[in-house]
Amino acid sequence: MKIVKLGTREYAPVFEEMKAFNANRTANTEDELWVVEHPAVFTQGLAGKPEHLLASSDIPVVQIDRGGQITYHGLGQLVVYTLIDFKRRKTSVRHIVSALENAIIATLAQYNIQSTNDPNRPGVYVGERKIASLGLRIKNGSVYHGLALNVNMDLEPFHQINPCGYAGLEMTQIADYVQPAPSLDEVADKLTAHLMRELVFQAA
């Protein structure tokens, strides 16, 4: 599995590149993890309901093809796109979701942040507050989109939406528990290492 660091990139072009990667991959295409940070954007999933956008602002709303409702991406949030051929790995999307959640939980544990997943709601939580979101798309036997982990960002835009469709859901981030907050690059290195370990057992 290859790790690709994209730096800070606008959301829409990366979304198009993900779709193209998935459409053009072959049986021999290596799986990739894309590590990226996006400027402020709301993304609305396939099942997204307009009423979950609670207030208008200058933050753009992009309609996309992953599952789920609306979420927010912004500077200081670590995004990892998981471009995985799950048929070749002889696994299931549920196992991939569990691997992503487990990798996030292990990463947070390195910062002494106790977190859990929720079988009824994808993502990772610290108490009742959500610290990481997941959203995947399955097409041509492969998975794309991925996870977003809040590191050190402005959380206010989450109040403009019902995050992931849940009214009143409060968000949190690593910086709420660790000072000084770690850099995005530091967290990315820890998280991708855990992702590589969590996903390797699923390889064919």
- Residue-wise pLDDT for 89-145, tens only, equals 777 888 889 999 999 999 999 999 999 998 888 899 999 999 999 988 888 888 889
- Number of neighbours of residue 56 by Cβ within 10 angstroms: 8
pTM for the structure as a whole: 0.92
Q: Per-residue pLDDT for 202 more than 50?
A: no
160: CB partners within 8 A, 6+ apart = 42, 53, 54, 55, 57, 59, 72
pLDDT given at position 6:
97
> Residue 62: pLDDT band by 50, 70, 90 thresholds?
confident
**3-state class of 58 per DSSP?**
coil
Q: Is 164 in the active site? A: yes
Q: How many CB atoms lie within 10 A of CB 62?
A: 13
- Which of these, 23, 33, 36, lies nearest to 142 by C-alpha position? 23
Nearest to 82 by CA among 135, 11, 119, 141: 135
Residue 188 in this model has a pLDDT that exceeds 80: yes
- The pLDDT value given to residue 69: 78
Active-site residue among 131, 164, 187, 188? 164
The H-or-E segment that residue 4 falls in is strand 2-8
- Listed residue (67, 140, 77) closest to 97, CA to CA: 67
CA distance 188 to 184: 6
Does the pLDDT of residue 16 top 80, yes or no?
Answer: yes
* Strand ranges inside 32-157, DSSP E: 32-37, 41-44, 61-63, 70-73, 77-83, 116-118, 121-126, 129-139, 142-150
Tell me the mean pLDDT in the region 65-88.
Answer: 89
Look at 54-63, 69-78, 149-158 and tell me which has the smallest mean pLDDT: 54-63
Token digits of residue 78: 């670590």
Percent with pLDDT over 70 in the chain: 96
